[in-house]
Amino acid sequence: MGDALYTPGLVVLRQNPVPSTLQANLQGNLAYNIFITNSTGQQFQPGVVYQSSASLTMSVSGPVSCDPTSDPTVTSAFLFDQVQYTAGRISSFALRFVCSGTVLGVEIRGALASGVVPSTPHQGYYAYESTGFISPYGNDAFLSYLGDLSATPLNQPIVGMAQTTDGGGYWMVAADGGIFAYGDAAYYGSMGGTPLNRPIVGMAATPDGGGYWLVASDGGIFAFGDAGFHGSMGGTLLNKPIVGMAANPTGGYWLVASDGGIFAFGGAQFFGSTGDLVLNKPVVGMTATTDGRGYWFVASDGGIFSYGDASFHGSTGALTLNRPIVGMASVPSGTGYWLIATDGGIFALSAPYLGSIPGDGVTVDDVVGLSV
């Protein structure tokens, strides 16, 4: 199976990453291959339109580990989440699969997709880990089909993520400023390979998705694509380091420091901060309201601070948490928000709860953020 059949896609082997072509030599040189074929055995390839009747059914064959003759304990599941036809032509498809067996001791989870974007973009959330692994909830979960970095060796950990306007792609940024673009997210440049004074701590996309900003812990700003440079805190002595940023939908951006200090640039207005207060726990992230006339930021204990037209919908500041909060995101309507902890635990406040990593029975502790 060549790369063209698989790309774009996702494979996650949580214990031992395998190449994105889904061909690997594991547990005795067994080859794991996923094929999508039609009733005549023709293999499907992303980006190719196949003439067929609307009643066509696709099937999956392989890999060897899913053959009970190789391992009687193997179970496999294949689910077509989306198959769209236009005048008898397959215009897009999305497939999930999982193969596992106790004798072989392996589990492969993955996805294949061609031509898919969410039908209702940004109606959910994605937990992302420092490895680049994505856990999708709601939003048709299509970003997980586009690929992630879980099988890619990274020079530095992932620290930020942003989605395109239509939800059909996303960017990830590493601490060294390296940018990874998937789906319809265009690559506009990065700081990877360039010496930085301080590590990157976050990113934000422009409202039209035609560019992005990166921010370093010293407040240095790096603008790419149609992202305009409106100023930075680079070179200015800060009381506390910058920990996040948010884009103003009408232009400009905010930076937030771990003491809750806010720095507004471009069309972004200053609505207040906690820079002169003593906090129980440091601030770890922020998000802006849909109209750009307010913002929230969150502390590691889940304490919420609301300014401008950002309404307070509750917090976890008075609760005992299993793990600290590392980020937040607001629902598109601005009527609530989600908080996420390092173990992937989700706290939905006036927002729909769509699932969490601990709820999936997976134990991790390297979640670094939430993207909507």
Does residue 138 share a domain with residue 82?
no
Residues 6+ apart with CB under 8 A from 76: 66, 97, 98, 99, 100
Residue 24 lies in a domain: yes
Q: Which long-range contacts (CB under 8 A, 24 or more apart) does 40-47 make?
A: 43/5, 44/5, 44/90, 44/93, 44/114, 45/4, 45/5, 45/114, 46/4, 46/5, 46/7, 46/8, 46/112, 46/113, 46/114, 46/115, 47/114, 47/115
Residue 127, pLDDT score: 93
Q: What's the token pair of residue 104? A: 């072989």
Q: What is the DSSP letter of 290?
A: T
Residue 85, pLDDT score: 54
The three-class DSSP label of residue 307 is strand
Does residue 153 share a domain with residue 67?
no
Residue 11 lies in a domain: yes
How does pLDDT run across 240-284, given as a tens digit for each residue?
999 999 999 989 999 999 999 999 999 999 999 998 899 999 999
List, for the chain, all residue ranges whose pLDDT scores fall below the cut of 70. 1-116, 140, 150-151, 360-363
Residue 229 lies in a domain: yes
Q: Report the distance separating Cα 214 and Cα 176, nearest Å.
A: 10
Report yes or no: 289 and 334 within 8 Å, Cβ to Cβ: yes
In total, how many domains does the chain have?
A: 2
Name the one residue in this structure whose structure tokens are 């794991």: 32
Whole-angstrom Cα Rg for the chain: 22
Centre a 10 Å sphere on the Cβ of residue 123 and count the other Cβ atoms it contains: 16
What CATH number is associated with residue 134? Answer: 2.130.10.10
Residue 364 lies in a domain: yes
Does residue 158 share a domain with residue 68?
no
Residue 119 lies in a domain: no
Does residue 139 share a domain with residue 29?
no
Report yes or no: 186 and 142 within 8 Å, Cβ to Cβ: no
Report yes or no: 102 and 57 within 8 Å, Cβ to Cβ: no
Cβ density class 147-167: b for 16+ within 10 Å, e for less: bbbbbeebeeebbbbbbbeeb
Residue 22, pLDDT score: 30
| Residue among 17, 20, 24 at smallest CA distance from 4 | 20
Name the domain boundary from 69, 89, 114.
114
Residue 357, pLDDT score: 87
The three-class DSSP label of residue 19 is coil
Residue 86, pLDDT score: 54
Does residue 48 share a domain with residue 175?
no
Centre a 10 Å sphere on the Cβ of residue 361 and count the other Cβ atoms it contains: 6
Residue 333, pLDDT score: 85
* 11 sits in which H/E element: strand 9-12
Residue 246 lies in a domain: yes
Does residue 157 share a domain with residue 97?
no
- Label residue 70 exposed, middle or buried (CB < 10 Å: 0-12, 13-18, 19+): middle
Does residue 283 share a domain with residue 163?
yes
Q: Report the distance separating Cα 19 and Cα 108, nearest Å.
A: 12
Domain region containing 79: 3-114
Does residue 236 share a domain with residue 177?
yes
Does residue 320 share a domain with residue 177?
yes
Does residue 161 share a domain with residue 19?
no
Does residue 105 share a domain with residue 172?
no
Q: Look at strands 211-216 and 221-225 and give their pairing.
A: antiparallel
Residue 183, pLDDT score: 79
Residue 82, pLDDT score: 57
How does pLDDT run across 198-217, given as a tens digit for each residue?
999 999 999 999 999 999 99
Question: pTM for the full model?
Answer: 0.78
Cα 170 to the center of its chain, rounded Å: 7
- Label residue 45 exposed, middle or buried (CB < 10 Å: 0-12, 13-18, 19+): middle
DSSP string, 41-82: -PBP-TT--EE--TT---EEE--GGG-TTT-TT-EEEEEEEE
Does residue 148 share a domain with residue 91?
no
